[in-house]
Structure 1
């Protein structure tokens, strides 16, 4: 069992946001067996803040669903800091609707996805993407959430 210290900051009033407990459950699922202790900050933002951060750090001038900022600590510093996730509530809500997903299921996917990034997983190369997507699908299934990569047209 992983020990997670979670700080949730809410800078958006967009409806449909999960509780702190839900966020902790989802992040904890991604951490389980991969990290014993972790400190994680999750900031829920509006589209303007997401767009600004996405532009500044990724060179993309649009809001995005989740940004991951791993803690950049010297290797000899033994602290449990994992990093920060910035999740845009409006983008998550819009994507859930477009992809015909339950809002909580899409939030869970974004938290798991972002947490895996903080743990070093990536999806730039096809082989990496396959590993990360398979892991996300397994973790979400363990939480009772269907495959997030199933095509929208096959959803009810």
Structure 2
């Protein structure tokens, strides 16, 4: 299977726990996870941030005043996907612990989720769209060797 080309910028904000998140997000794995979620070439920036930056971005761009797990900003409607994926490290870590999932597995899920959003998938438009997106996430993640992220633990 030939995977789409990906130009990746992987960035970590300056916050106390950044090192622990950097360890579970080696560049080669992030590239692999994203490429498996893409159907066309892409230029993607992934930025791992603290709760303050995550909340500010969510407030300023989505008008929701809290830090969320992943924000997707897509910029191009051409054959090349151009997007920023912003993941809030404290939220991702908390969710992984609450769901009894490994931090790396949860990051893989959220990166796939964000990449699908950048390609037009949307789980907020209808229940049918939500089910289709969830099924696609499960298919991609299982192909990468991860368990179904929606299965109860």
Q: Same fold (TM over 0.5)?
A: yes
Compute the TM-score of the two structures, normalised by the length of structure 2: 0.89
Residue in structure 1 matched with residue 72 of structure 2 by the alignment = 68
Distance 2:4 2:98 in 1: 34
Q: Which runs of 5+ in 1 are unaligned?
A: none
Q: Does residue 1:57 correspond to 2:61, yes or no?
A: yes
Residue in structure 1 matched with residue 116 of structure 2 by the alignment = 116
Distance 1:72 1:104 in 2: 28
Residue in structure 2 matched with residue 23 of structure 1 by the alignment = 30
- Structure 1 runs of 4+ aligned residues shifted over 3 Å read none
Cα deviation, residue 12, structure 1: 4.2
Task: Report if the CA contact (8 A) 1:42-1:85 is conserved.
Answer: yes
Residue in structure 2 matched with residue 143 of structure 1 by the alignment = 144
Residue in structure 2 matched with residue 45 of structure 1 by the alignment = 49
Distance 2:70 2:150 in 1: 16
Q: Which runs of 5+ in 2 are unaligned?
A: none
The answer to which of 64-73 and 99-108 deviates more is 64-73
1:59-105 CA-partner distances (Å, limit 9, x unpaired) = 111101000000146x5xx7x35211001111111100000001111
Cα deviation, residue 19, structure 1: 1.1
Q: Name the SS for the 2:57 alignment partner.
A: helix
Cα deviation, residue 130, structure 1: 0.4
Distance 2:111 2:68 in 1: 13
User: What's the Cα RMSD here?
Assistant: 1.4
Distance 2:14 2:99 in 1: 22
